[in-house]
Amino acid sequence: MKRKLLLLNLVLVALTALAGWRLRQQYLAAQAREQAVLGRRVPAPAAPPAAKSAPAQPLTAAGYIEIAQKMLFSKDRNPTVIVEAAPPPPKPMPPLPGLHGVMNFPDGPVAMLSEQGAARHRGVRIGESIGEFKLLAVNDSEITFEWDGQTIVKDTRELRQNNEPPPETAARTPAPASAPAPTAPPAPRGQPVPGVSIGGGIKACQQGDTSPPGTVAQGMRKVVTESPFGQVCRWEPVQ
């Protein structure tokens, strides 16, 4: 039994010695390879020939024109001159209509208006137009028109004209310069003669009509009312 153990120990010692020798040989070989690699000299490659650079161009002001034209903080350096077109002149407003009086009816007020230069006036209700003006509102103190999209408010005293309508004359052939122009005969005084229609079945009074209020003629009754502009005369249908 002891011989077997001794023999086994000898075998193990021999294997250990053989393994140590083998490791020693591999270590020495690795050292030799390392020394051979580290000791090898690699020849340096030849340097490439240096390329010649282009000569520098001289500085000129024209070379910076793009920078000057695109300067964000200086608009006066922009060579494109922007000419602002002048706005068209505003449209001149024509003369306002003349106001001869205001009559208040149950269905709304009626303004007696005439265009400038016109010989006759007529009744205009709110929303109706006379010339280029549209009547928006009217009362005893103010009158409001619409013209070209603008609202025009005026004092009625500024537009007040003579309440008496001008005499109506028929168109006639001009007489010779030496002969006096014929005139229309005046309306008979004291005779109830309804005048021109002013809308809503109402007619104006003729010039020279001095008949008292309440006179009935031609199915109409004469009515005279007081207003800030004086007496307003009209003929209304007899109910």
pLDDT tens-digit series, residues 196-210: 787 777 888 877 777
The pLDDT assigned to 189 comes to: 52
| H helix and E strand count, the chain | 2, 12
The pLDDT assigned to 136 comes to: 93
Tokens of 157: 């005293």
**C-alpha distance from residue 223 to each of 16, 136, 142, 192, 207 (Å):** 152, 26, 24, 12, 15
Pick the CATH number of 98-155 from 2.30.30, 2.60.40, 1.10.3470, 2.40.128: 2.30.30
| Intervals of the chain under pLDDT 70 | 72, 74-81, 117-119, 161-191, 228-229
Residue-wise DSSP of 129-161? EETTEEEEEE-SSEEEEEETTEEEEEETTTSB-
Say which residue the tokens 């009816």 belong to. Answer: 105
**Residue 76 and residue 69: Cα distance in Å, rounded?**
9
**Residue 203 and residue 123: Cα distance in Å, rounded?**
9
Strand partners, 217: 220
* Residues forming CATH 2.30.30 domain(s) in the chain: 98-155
CA dihedral of 167, 170, 172, 174, whole degrees rounded to 10: 10
* Average pLDDT of the chain, as a whole number: 78
